[in-house]
């Protein structure tokens, strides 16, 4: 493992109780920082923080609700004193079906969690980052947001929107000490696979030239670097982690 320097910094990780978010928390802790996990499953968040050690904390947060996020920002600042990095990792896939059969309520839920949630979190955290003159925001998008996966229209559209949000906010904050970037992984085998059909999982694997899914620690390594001071001249950028699927 390459050594990254996140010493003395504090990160908020949404959806950090399990999967990719948990792996990112592990890597930032190993890099010398501390973390607060925001997750809608408070019990899972508390258990995750306990397993991560004394420099990890947990809050029950519904990222789709602005009052919940605003309350979490205040609680995090009261406990940690600052928020140096925000990793928007919370996400859902939604059902795998044709667009013309897609349930409207499910579409709205995917948009709420995958796009509205990061918007609200960024909106509530950016003020504190601007006032302290430093911050790093990393949005977990997806290669689906660049290519568009069939039978995953809501997921693809939400991640495309998140890429655009990243570019827009990155430009808005370019003259400050806050950097905003996103990563676009191909499929990574986590519990989110439980939300997908076997056919869709097979389709995603067939598109990866390396012939395998990504590993949590591979994504976490890139995200952790984007959270450090060394990421100083990249903002509004999209970093692929796709095993060769995306080359543009």
Told to judge if 155 belongs to the known catalytic residues of this protein, a careful annotator would answer yes
Q: For the chain, what is the total number of helices (H) and then of strands (E)?
A: 9, 7
The residue length of the chain stands at 248
Burial 131-148 (b: 16+ CB within 10 A, else e): eeebbbbbbbbbbbbbbe
* Cα–Cα distance for residue pair 57/45, rounded to 1 Å: 8
d(CA 238, CA 169): 13
Catalytic residue among 22, 102, 155, 248: 155
Task: Identify any residues that bridge with 70 across adjacent strands, giving them in sequence order.
Answer: none
Kindly list the catalytic residues: 155
């Amino acid at each position: 493992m390459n050594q990254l320097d996140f010493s003395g910094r504090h990160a908020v990780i949404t959806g950090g109780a399990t999967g990719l978010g948990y792996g990112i928390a592990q890597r930032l802790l190993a890099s010398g920082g501390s973390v607060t996990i925001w997750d809608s499953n408070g019990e899972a968040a508390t258990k995750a923080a306990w397993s991560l050690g004394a420099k990890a904390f947990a809050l029950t947060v519904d990222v789709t609700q602005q009052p919940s996020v605003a309350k979490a920002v205040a609680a995090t600042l009261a406990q940690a004193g600052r928020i140096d990095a925000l990793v928007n990792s919370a996400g859902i896939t939604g059902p795998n079906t044709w667009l013309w059969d897609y349930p409207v309520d499910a579409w709205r839920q995917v948009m709420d969690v995958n796009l509205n949630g990061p918007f609200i979190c960024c909106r509530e955290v950016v003020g504190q980052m601007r006032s302290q003159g430093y911050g790093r925001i990393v949005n977990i998008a997806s290669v689906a947001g660049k290519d568009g996966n069939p039978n995953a229209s809501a997921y693809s559209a939400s991640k495309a929107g998140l890429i655009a949000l990243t570019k827009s906010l990155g430009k808005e904050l370019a003259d400050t000490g806050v950097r905003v970037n996103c990563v676009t992984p191909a499929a990574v085998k986590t519990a989110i696979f439980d939300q997908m059909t076997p056919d869709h999982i097979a389709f995603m694997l067939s598109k990866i030239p390396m012939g395998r899914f990504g590993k949590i620690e591979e994504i976490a390594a890139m995200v952790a670097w984007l959270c450090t001071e060394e990421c100083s001249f990249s903002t509004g950028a999209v970093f692929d982690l796709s095993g060769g699927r995306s080359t543009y």
